[in-house]
Structure 1
């Protein structure tokens, strides 16, 4: 019994550490959105995992860094004539974004090693933590792979690479959140059958994740600027030219009209499915935690829909667009909380 109580204390400590890491990853997602929205992502043309943590510290170093940026397609085709002060403003967004990525690595790795050396991590959790660490390292590489796509000829990053970069960041956050739920709430006892809504709850969370990916495609193609009307797209609900390319399926990833339309349809689908599933979970789900999760999910859904419509109608202002991106992650968090709550085993 004493060992069990001690392990529960260790679990709370690990959960608190992972909660801090998840909060910083959430901030990283928001800052990444601001970096993209301010067109700052291509300002750093080199990737130096160690020395890149130090910004230019002298006027000479700033001029040298600016000269490297002047050789890029973005400066030559979009920002020609930008002065050094203008460059510093976009540079700092990307620099802080990369610095925060390094901070996450430090916040995650050293406490993980400490907990493992002190034998406070349950055996089944250790490989999951190492997986998170490897995914985090892969995220850094994927971020540079994305930036490189905008440093060649076209001064815009590939929407495919941006979607992958965003998708992996959110996946890391979601997995981390699930582990926190496992640690903070009583693990289901072995045996028995998972509640009937456990699987559908996870399915709903997957749909929210797919909507986030569709939003990343909107960001990568700048499709949010194409139709700034709602609920119609232009003069109709279904805009002209939808899936009119060759081949048509490619429009789902590259045609701005189709990309924005698909994102809207995802939002409409979730606006219908989430309340319906929430009502079912309220009626059939076990315990007060499920009801709390239902309320949180519905509140965040209303918030996110309002942010999405406002962002569209106001022509994608940076604060609203960044809040909309954060709202999507909060919606996923609430969906995962409900899904986890519904997976309590029943005998």
Structure 2
């Protein structure tokens, strides 16, 4: 005879199991290997940052034209014998950079600049390999979240385009009989601009994968539309300044005037429209290009201040912190830019200036992300 049970008795005591509550169906259906993919993207992000730094050092050491051919596959193998080295050096001797400014070079000097450019290209191959192997692994394991396959393919596609643009840039300086000793500055700007675009895309994906689909869907309802628009404008403005900075680097304009706040003792540098036709001055006149970079920096700081003050009024603490960090990086970048000019752009300061641009770019992107997907907080100030 069965005994009577109290209405307060646990169901588990009778041997029947309580059915599990179904939660998180959105994340379960769309999750995939979010954490693994995020770590893989973070590795790619770090590699792209290193790539930008090595590219900057390659430019600062005037090494970019040392390899005069584009061989995506066989170029991975460096010269292995003295005969191979001499053959590469002979190719370099045919271009204008050697004939105009580097006739003093011996084979040992050539090897130094060759290794810089080879390392830059090799790092590009490593990034491509890391992307391809990682994507293939997640595809085979069928662990890519719903809607993410195209995004991950896009990163690799842009990387391939970047390689082609890199050669398009180098080919502008591999000339004979034109007295060209550098790559075209506008091509350098396109090359650097795409690198920052790829970096920003990877960072955005890392931000998205750092939170669950459920969290993102809920956070999107609290989007701060006006602040999102302002941060988007700041992001575009910073990108424009990065492109202008590439124009400065392309013609060594950072070393043309080393006084501040004036330039050659004047507000506007002497002979701002020295070349004909006039449009050439915006790309090739060192004084005018540096002047534009300076003025754009002042305007960026002014607009950044407005965005920062607006960001401080956000209802979300994490968003406020993000805008504080972005504004601090912006102020530091302006100061470092002035120091770079005053010291004639020595390579340690110049490369630090470039890396700080990377940090600023990512911090603005992070602040923008938090305006689109705010982090909710409890009354006690902890994340909900």
Both structures adopt the same fold (TM-score exceeding 0.5): yes
1:244-269 CA deviation, whole Å, 9 max, x = no partner? Answer: 65554543223222211111111111
Distance in 2 between residues matched to 1:36 and 1:126, nearest whole Å: 35
Deviation at residue 35 of structure 1 after TM alignment: 0.3
1:7 and 1:120 in contact (8 A); partners too: no
Judging by fraction of residues, say which structure has more helix: 1
Q: In the aligned structure 1, how far is the partner of 2:279 from the partner of 2:333? A: 28
Q: Distance in 1 between matches of 2:275 and 2:114?
A: 37
Q: TM-score, structure 1 length as denominator?
A: 0.93
Q: Quote the Cα distance in structure 2 between the aligned partners of 1:43 and 1:247.
A: 31
CA contact (8 A) 2:228 2:371 kept: yes
1:121-142 deviation line (CA, Å, top 9, x unaligned): 2232211111111110010011
Where structure 1 has 5 or more consecutive residues not aligned to the other structure, the ranges are none
Which region of structure 1 is more displaced relative to structure 2, 98-107 or 271-280?
271-280
State the match for 1:172 in structure 2. Answer: 198
Partner of 1:126: 149
Give the match for residue 181 of structure 1.
Answer: 207
Query: Would the alpha carbon gap of residues 235 and 190 (structure 1) be closer, same or farther in structure 2, given more than 3 Å must change?
Result: closer
Q: In 2 relative to 1, CA 275–9 (structure 1 residues): closer, same or farther, beyond 3 Å?
A: farther
Cα RMSD, aligned residues only: 2.1
Aligned counterpart in structure 2 of residue 90 of structure 1, from 100, 106, 113: 113
In the alignment, structure 2 segments of 5+ residues that lack a partner are 1-22, 376-384
Whether the 8 Å contact between 1:188 and 1:345 is mirrored in structure 2 is no
In structure 2, relative to structure 1, the CA distance for the partners of 1:226 and 1:276 (3 Å cut) is same
Confirm or deny: 8 A CA contact 1:189 1:345 kept in the other structure: no
How far residue 109 of structure 1 moved from its aligned partner, in angstroms, is: 1.3
Which of structures 1 and 2 has the bigger CA Rg? 2
- Indicate if the aligned counterparts of 1:34 and 1:322 stay in contact, CA closer than 8 A: yes
Output the CA distance in 1 between the equivalents of 2:338 and 2:148.
41
- Counterpart of 1:320 in structure 2 is 349
How far has the Cα of 1:209 moved from its partner? 0.6
Instruction: State whether structure 2 residue 182 is matched by structure 1 residue 156.
Output: yes
**Secondary structure at 2:257's aligned position in 1?**
coil
Distance (Å, rounded) in 2 between the aligned partners of 1:215 and 1:189: 39
CA contact (8 A) 1:15 1:180 kept: yes
Which is bigger in relative contact order (C-alpha 8 A, separation at least 6)? 1
Q: Does 1:144 align with 2:193?
A: no
Please list, as runs of the form range in 1=range in 2, the aligned pairs for 1:1-347 lying within 5 A after superposition. 1=23, 4=27, 8=31, 10-152=33-175, 153=178, 154-185=180-211, 186-189=215-218, 192=221, 194-195=223-224, 196-243=226-273, 248-283=278-313, 285-344=314-373
Between the aligned partners of 1:233 and 1:187, the Cα distance in structure 2 is 49
> Residues 42 and 246 of structure 1: is their aligned pair in 2 closer, same or farther, counting only changes over 3 Å?
closer
Q: Distance in 2 between matches of 1:151 and 1:46?
A: 9
> 2:292 & 2:367 partners in 1: Cα distance?
26
Q: Between Structure 1 and Structure 2, how many residues are aligned?
A: 345
How far is 1:10 from its partner? 1.9
- Deviation for aligned residue 1:6: 8.6
